[in-house]
Chains A and B, each alone.
Chain A
């Protein structure tokens, strides 16, 4: 079993839709949770970073962590064509030295 599971998609939505991206993880030792966005031929770009259960909002993006279910989500409101990218969830341990990534979900927002 992979430490982090993520549906690879692809996910196609119309412009303006609310997008929900999800990951599950297997180890309760993970305490840091991140979402990265990766455009084609680019490196991952940090979108959201949290270390607690609950919601964290930044503009059109909301990250949600449920440690009891080992489930993390990213919501994108009013999605735009420029949001078309691969979204990677990543987790880390307190005091650890590496991030463990999901496989990434490919998102396409269509006009």
Chain B
């Protein structure tokens, strides 16, 4: 069973609204990454946090923002939602360094109407 927990599992929002997605990392993992997975596509990197600091960002606009807390849990915030933001949002954690064995959560399915 995965050690990464995401909430909520499903969410429906209206275009223009704001949303906050939450992630609880696997115990001992200080690095958390967020990915967006559109239907029929592979996950796309949004950004990564390491020890509460952003540590790299993919090709996503500034209305996608995040936070990592001292207990290594994390939030993904999306402002001014657009229809194309409808996707599965995945949180992944690892112990940092060169270990690419990311553990993914089950994701939050966001639908923007």
Contact = CB atoms under 8 A, between A and B. Distances in A.
Interface in A75-103: 88, 90, 92, 94-103
A54 interface: no
Interface residues on B, range: 20 to 34
Nearest to A97: B56
Interface string B58-97: 1000000000000000000000000000000010100000
Interface stretch (A11-19, A41-49, A56-64, A65-73): A41-49
A102 B42 contact: yes
A98 B58 CA distance: 8
A53 B40 CA distance: 29
Which of B44, B100, B102 is most buried by chain A, counting CB atoms within 10 A of its CB? B100
Contacts of A103: 40-42
Interface of B: 2, 4, 6, 33, 40-45, 48, 50, 55-56, 58, 90, 92, 98, 100-107, 109
